[in-house]
Structure 1
Amino acid sequence: MTFYGFARGVVKTVLTPLYRVKVYGKENFPETGGVLLCSNHISELDPPVVGISAPRPVHFIAKEELFNMPVLKMILPHVNAIPIKRGMSDRNALRKGLGVLKDGNVLGLFPEGTRSKTGELGEGLAGAGFFALRTEAKVVPCAVIGNYKPFRTTKVVYGKPIEMEELRSRKASAEEVTKVIMAEIKELIVKNR
């Protein structure tokens, strides 16, 4: 068993009963090929909860500062996390993310770039659109709904892959594509609250 599989099992055993994690729409998640998984961001618990809910291993892009924290710096490199420098174009992180998708794996992103202070969906950054346009990966929207109160239900909802052909063929901007992704996430939140 890989460290990722072991860590996922441990986290799932703890978080699933504690936050009553319910997963919807797993059938929308492609079984093979590159997947760009884009979720809203309401808590620092989102990456592990989305990670244990996804049917396939996820390579999350995470802020570089987390890789300097005492325990996390030992764990993150072994659970497929990719560090990114915030507030600038981090070519190394972008290259690694594209590699994950081109190799047919799952890249997890929180397009807002940071946690929402209000719990409401914020503006998405162009990075999500960049990855969606630069690869043939399926783009799967995801909504985390709940407030992570112990023994209250937290939902993770996967939507159908977003139709990208028209956007890719007319060379839409990364910003426009990110807006489309954010609209799909918002729709999932509204429908499943």
Structure 2
Amino acid sequence: MYYIAKFLVWLAMHIAYNLRFEGRENIPKDTPVIYASNHRSNADPPILGAGGRGKYAFMAKEELFRNKLFAWLITALGAFPVARGKGDTGVIDTSVERLSSGRSLMIFPEGTRSKDGKVGRGHTGAALIAARSGKPVVPVGIVFDGDLKFRKAVTVKYGTPIDPAEYCEISDTPNPRQLVKLKNRYMSDIKLLVEDGQNADAEEKKEESADE
């Protein structure tokens, strides 16, 4: 059922948007990973999932599970509910469990969508999950110009995996300062991926204008 649902979502994303993936060779093939991405739209999880590997898990706000049919679909795709703003610490345990079961985790460290396309400071949740699980963090930049509309060109850039052991002790109770260092690293990488994609889009538009 998972792969049927994943294929349908993959097909829908490729119909809806002009997707381009860069750096997929950076995604490890022998272990689940934590995809840490910037957040531009509600379509980010399926867009991100259209280019990754294997099975996924991802957090979704609990309100999305009120509709039974939609709840069935996103649960089949690996979603689990999180109560935003309520200090839901169980979501960390669930994330680590999903990674241990072989699913990669999609997470958006900014915590909310960016309205101007700029990458925010981010939170340490992904760092905590990485420190507890020992799984690598793959920074991701989702890039598109303006609002996300039908057939919009979208570039998804996968960066070099980050080993959490290089920044903090792999433990159930990692050092908070070390988590901040790890967070700063993946947020910096995400920002560079996004800016690189935006610059490339600008250059491409210049070339198209010159050809005209």
Same fold per superposition (TM over 0.5): yes
Structure-to-structure mapping, 1:28-107, within 5 angstroms: 28-69=26-67, 71-107=69-105
Letter in 1 for 2:57: H
CA distance in 1, matches of 2:124, 2:66: 26
Alignment counterpart, residue 25 of structure 1, candidates 20, 23, 26:
23
The equivalent residue for 2:193 is 188
1:84/1:43 CA distance change after superposition, 3 Å: same
CA distance in 2, matches of 1:125, 1:66: 22
CA distance in 1, matches of 2:151, 2:120: 27
Q: What's the offset of the Cα at 1:117?
A: 2.3
Q: What's the offset of the Cα at 1:149?
A: 2.6
Alignment counterpart, residue 179 of structure 2, candidates 174, 178, 182:
174
CA distance in 2, matches of 1:57, 1:71: 21
CA distance in 2, matches of 1:162, 1:40: 16
TM-score w.r.t. the length of structure 1 is 0.90
The equivalent residue for 2:154 is 154
Q: What's the offset of the Cα at 1:145?
A: 0.5
1:69/1:125 CA distance change after superposition, 3 Å: farther
Tell me, which stretches of 5 or more residues in structure 2 are unaligned? 199-212
Counting matched residue pairs gives 191
Letter in 1 for 2:154: T
8 Å contact 1:58–1:80 — kept in the other structure? yes
CA distance in 1, matches of 2:83, 2:181: 23
Letter in 2 for 1:150: F
Greater mean deviation of Cα atoms: 19-28 or 176-185: 176-185
8 Å contact 2:141–2:157 — kept in the other structure? yes
CA distance in 2, matches of 1:54, 1:139: 13
CA distance in 2, matches of 1:142, 1:130: 18
Q: What's the offset of the Cα at 1:115?
A: 1.3
Q: Tell me the SS of whatever aligns to 1:82.
A: strand
1:28/1:166 CA distance change after superposition, 3 Å: same
8 Å contact 1:37–1:141 — kept in the other structure? yes
CA distance in 2, matches of 1:179, 1:64: 28
TM-score w.r.t. the length of structure 2 is 0.82
Q: What's the offset of the Cα at 1:99?
A: 0.9
8 Å contact 2:56–2:104 — kept in the other structure? yes
The equivalent residue for 2:207 is none
Alignment counterpart, residue 16 of structure 1, candidates 11, 14, 17:
14
Q: What's the offset of the Cα at 1:119?
A: 2.2
1:73/1:50 CA distance change after superposition, 3 Å: same
Alignment deviations for residues 87-116 of structure 1 (CA, whole Å, 9 cap, x no partner):
133232211101122233301101111211
The equivalent residue for 1:110 is 108
Letter in 2 for 1:185: I
8 Å contact 1:39–1:109 — kept in the other structure? yes
Q: What's the offset of the Cα at 1:70?
A: 5.2
1:116/1:53 CA distance change after superposition, 3 Å: same
- Percent of paired sites with the same residue: 32
